[in-house]
Amino acid sequence: MANPKILILGGGYGGLMTAVKLQKTMNYNEADVTLVNKHDYHYFTTWLHEPAAGTLDPDKCRVEINSLLDSSKVKFLKGTVASINKDKQTVTLESGDELSYDYLVIGLGSEPETFGIQGLKEHAFSIRSINSVREIREHIEYNFARYKNERSPELITFVIGGAGFTGIEFLGELTDRIPELCEEFDVNPSDVKIYNVEAAPTVLPGFDPELVQYAMDILSKKGVEFRIATPIKECTPDGVIIGEGEEIKSKTVVWTGGVRGNSVIEKSGFETMRGRVKVDEYLRAPGHDNVFIVGDSALVINAATDRPYPPTAQIAIQQGENLGQNLVELMRGGTPKPFVFHLKGTVASLGKGEAIGLVGNKKIFGGTAAFMKKVIDNRSLFMLGGLSLLTKKVKL
Boundaries of every domain in the chain: 5-38+79-112+259-342, 114-257+345-396
List, for residues 11-50, the tens digit of each pLDDT value.
999 999 999 999 999 998 899 999 999 999 999 999 999 9
What's the CA gap between 52 and 139, in Å, rounded? 10
This model's pTM is above 0.85 = yes
What's the CA gap between 138 and 32, in Å, rounded? 42
Do 5-38+79-112+259-342 and 114-257+345-396 agree at the fold level? yes
**Under 8 Å between Cβ of 63 and 392:** yes
Beta bridge partners of 301: 308
> Tell me, what's the pLDDT at 177?
98
**Under 8 Å between Cβ of 181 and 145:** no
Name the DSSP letter for residue 276.
B
Q: In degrees, to the nearest 5, what angle opens at C-alpha 40 toward C-alphas 66 and 314?
A: 80
List, for residues 114-169, the tens digit of each pLDDT value.
999 999 999 999 999 999 999 999 999 999 999 988 999 999 999 999 999 999 99
Torsion of CA 8, 328, 5, 91, to 10 degrees: -30
Picking from 7, 177, 199, 188, the residue whose alpha carbon sits closest to that of residue 91 is 7
List, for residues 255-310, the tens digit of each pLDDT value.
999 888 999 999 999 999 888 999 999 999 999 999 999 999 999 998 888 888 98
First to last CA, the chain: 50
Helix/strand/coil for 50: helix
Task: Using DSSP bridges, classify how beta strands 307-308 and 246-249 pair: parallel, antiparallel or unpaired.
Answer: unpaired
Round the CA-based radius of gyration of the chain to a whole number and report it.
Answer: 22
DSSP line for 282-341: TSEETTEEEEEE-GGGEE-EETTTTEEPP--HHHHHHHHHHHHHHHHHHHTT--------
- Please state, for a pLDDT cut of 90, what percent of the chain lies above it: 89
Name the DSSP letter for residue 129.
S
Torsion of CA 70, 72, 77, 81, to 10 degrees: -90
> Tell me, what's the pLDDT at 305?
85
Picking from 344, 345, 348, 341, the residue whose alpha carbon sits closest to that of residue 294 is 341
Position 343 pLDDT exceeds 90: no
335-345 mean pLDDT: 92
Q: Which residues are catalytic?
A: 169
**Under 8 Å between Cβ of 156 and 147:** yes
Position 206 pLDDT exceeds 90: no
Beta bridge partners of 74: 33
Q: Give the class (CATH, top level) of 114-257+345-396.
A: alpha beta
Position 338 pLDDT exceeds 80: yes
Position 345 pLDDT exceeds 90: no
What's the CA gap between 173 and 53, in Å, rounded? 6
> Tell me, what's the pLDDT at 258?
84
> Tell me, what's the pLDDT at 151?
93
**Under 8 Å between Cβ of 158 and 254:** yes
> Tell me, what's the pLDDT at 108?
96
Query: Residue 1's pLDDT band (boundaries 50, 70, 90)?
Result: low
Backbone torsions φ then ψ of 2, nearest 5 degrees: -75, 150
- Please state, for a pLDDT cut of 70, what percent of the chain lies above it: 100
| More confident site: 206 or 374 | 374
Picking from 306, 383, 262, the residue whose alpha carbon sits closest to that of residue 16 is 383
Tell me the fold of 5-38+79-112+259-342: FAD/NAD(P)-binding domain (3.50.50)
Largest CA distance in the chain: 72
